[in-house]
Amino acid sequence: MDLRALRYFIYIAEARSFSRAATLLRIAQPALSRQVRKLEIELGVELFLRTGRHLELTEAGAILLQRANSLMQQAQQAADDVRSQARDISGVVALGISPAASELIGPLIMGASSRKNPKIQLNFVEGFSGFIFEKLVQHELALCILHNPPPQLGIETQPLVAEPMFLVGPAAGRGIPPVKSSMKLDGIPLILPNKTHGMRILIDQALGPGGDKLNIAAQVDGFVTTKALVAAGIGYTILPFSAFGRDIENGSLSATRLRHPEIQWTLTLAWNADRRAVRRVEAVKSIIYDEIRNFSGGRKWPGSGATILVGTTPR
């Protein structure tokens, strides 16, 4: 398929109008219509339903739009990769990062990259580990900082930090008692992610058959909402310290380290194996390693018991 035709198709699909797309692209509308018609003939399907003055994507058109955006990103990435070899390190690096890590290390990575490689543009994509890992597999991201990624052919990983998990509850006077080390998980209302979420899978694996006895007060796939519900006295949750340390400082939450069972939550850097030779990606990886190492050489990773793992062999 012609990349130019795909680019035109994306503009039309997002504008839902040939005339608006033609204005944005600064080309004549008939020429735009011809390119799309050639694409439809090549694929043997209709891409748009023409309903009066508006356009709607057909089912085939919706599938193509999803794939076309990824193809255009890969084409731009390939061009940037080639250009970057001929000059100073530059270009765009799309970095996926989980919410639990973004607040702590996102600003550090951005600051160090701006100082050391000012021509590299870092694009952060925040999302749960499963979401950003899928984007990495589809080559929509160059790097991911996430927790406990699954093994995947073509994906290399480097563990960064191993954190113990904590039982987290409200501060005093919020309806239910603050967390105590004597609390048992099967005797308290818990607010946890759904069963397909990476953290919930880790928790269920650690608890084994005992996980079926938990009192799940609510299932929430978001740290902000989870912490708000816990602070309001709705229930308790399980999190790494880096995800709630500031809430302990401001007095809105209480916490104690889980001992029975003890659960380790491993922050990991992941990338596609075929990105190893790209200079800007390697430069950002080096910055991430340096910033994590700095926690063991001066800065302190929030919470007791965290172990810095940078320096071990990638897998």
User: How many CA within 13 A on the CB side of residue 17?
Assistant: 9
Residues 24 and 60 placed together within one structural domain of the fold:
yes
Confidence of residue 313 (pLDDT cuts 50, 70, 90): very low
Max mean pLDDT range (12-26, 77-91, 159-173) = 159-173
pLDDT band at 191 (very low <50, low <70, confident <90, very high): very high
Same domain, 194 and 285: no
In the prediction, which pLDDT does 30 show? 87
Residues 197, 214 share a domain: yes
Instruction: Give the separation between CA 11 and CA 251, rounded to whole angstroms.
Output: 49
Q: Do residue 32 and residue 52 come from a single domain?
A: yes
Clarify whether residues 111 and 201 are in a common domain. Answer: no
More confident residue, 1 or 181: 181
Name the residue among 199, 105, 163 with its Cα closest to residue 303.
163
Same domain, 181 and 259: yes
Q: Would residue 312 count as lying in a domain?
A: no
Rounded to whole angstroms, the Cα distance separating 35 from 22 reads: 12
Please state the φ and ψ torsions of residue 270, each to the nearest 5 degrees. Answer: -130, 150
pLDDT at 303: 65
Average pLDDT, the chain: 85
pLDDT tens per residue across span 207-260: 888 777 889 999 998 888 999 999 999 999 999 888 888 888 889 999 999 988
Find out whether 13 and 65 touch, Cβ atoms under 8 Å.
yes
Percentage of the chain modeled with pLDDT above 90: 32
Residue 253 lies inside a defined structural domain of this protein: yes
Mean pLDDT of 133-144: 92
Pairing of strands 264-272, 253-257: unpaired
> What's the CA gap between 309 and 50, in Å, rounded?
56
Is residue 304 one of the residues assigned to a domain? Answer: no
Give the pLDDT mean for 261-290: 88
Q: Which two tokens stand for residue 286?
A: 């080096």
In whole angstroms, what is the distance from residue 64 CA to residue 9 CA? 9
Greatest alpha-carbon pair distance for the chain in Å reads 74
Does the pLDDT at position 190 exceed 50? yes
pLDDT band at 28 (very low <50, low <70, confident <90, very high): confident
Count of domains for the chain: 3
Residue 308 lies in a domain: no
Predicted pLDDT at 10: 87
- The residue-averaged pLDDT of 176-185 equals 90
What was the pLDDT predicted at 81?
64
- Reported as a pLDDT band with limits 50, 70 and 90, residue 304 is low
The boundaries of the domain holding residue 60 are 3-82
How many CB atoms neighbour CB 298 within 10 A? Answer: 7
End-to-end Cα, the chain, rounded Å: 36
Domain boundary among 55, 82, 109: 82
Q: Record the pTM.
A: 0.66
Check whether residue 189 and residue 253 sit in a common domain.
yes
